[in-house]
Homo-oligomer: A and B are copies of this chain.
Amino acid sequence: MTATSAAGAGQQPRPPVVGMVGAGQLARMTAQAAISLGIEFRVLADTPSDSAAQVCANVVVGDYRSAADVLAFGAGCDVVTFDHEHVPGEHLTALAAASDVRPGGSALRFAQNKAVMREHLAGLGVRVPRYRPVSSMAEVAAFAAETGPAGRDGTGAGWPVVLKATSGGYDGKGVWLCADEAAAAQVLAHGIGLIAEEYVRFDRELAVLVARSPKGQGASYPVVQTVQEDGICREVIAPAPGLDPDLAVAAQHLGLRLAAELGVTGLLAVELFEVGGELVVNELAMRPHNSGHWTMDGAVTSQFEQHVRAILDLPLGSPAMTAPQAVMVNLLGGDDPDLYSRFVHVMAADPGVRVHLYGKQVRPGRKIGHVTVAGDDVGRLRERAWRAANFLSLGTEEPDGRVLP
Contact = CB atoms under 8 A, between A and B. Distances in A.
A181 B34 CA distance: 49
A343 B314 CA distance: 9
B322 A323 contact: yes
Interface string A55-67: 1110100000000
B351 A316 contact: yes
Interface residues of A, number: 56
Contacts of A369: 38
A309 B340 CA distance: 12
A386 interface: no
Interface stretch (A100-108, A275-283, A356-364): A356-364
A37 to B, nearest CB: 6
A54 interface: yes
A38 B4 contact: no
B57 A309 contact: no
A395 B15 CA distance: 17
A355 interface: yes
Nearest to A339: B38
A315 B340 contact: no
A99 interface: no
A150 interface: no
Contacts of A12: 337-338, 361-362
A314 B59 contact: no
A91 interface: no
Nearest to A340: B15
Interface string A210-254: 000000000100000000000000000000000000000000000
Interface of A: 3-4, 12-13, 15-16, 28-29, 31-32, 35-41, 53-57, 59, 219, 300-301, 309, 314-318, 320, 322-323, 337-341, 343-344, 347-348, 351-352, 354-359, 361-362, 369, 374
16 contacts: A3-B340, A3-B344, A4-B338, A4-B340, A12-B361, A36-B356, A36-B357, A38-B369, A41-B55, A55-B57, A314-B344, A315-B347, A315-B351, A316-B351, A317-B347, A320-B352
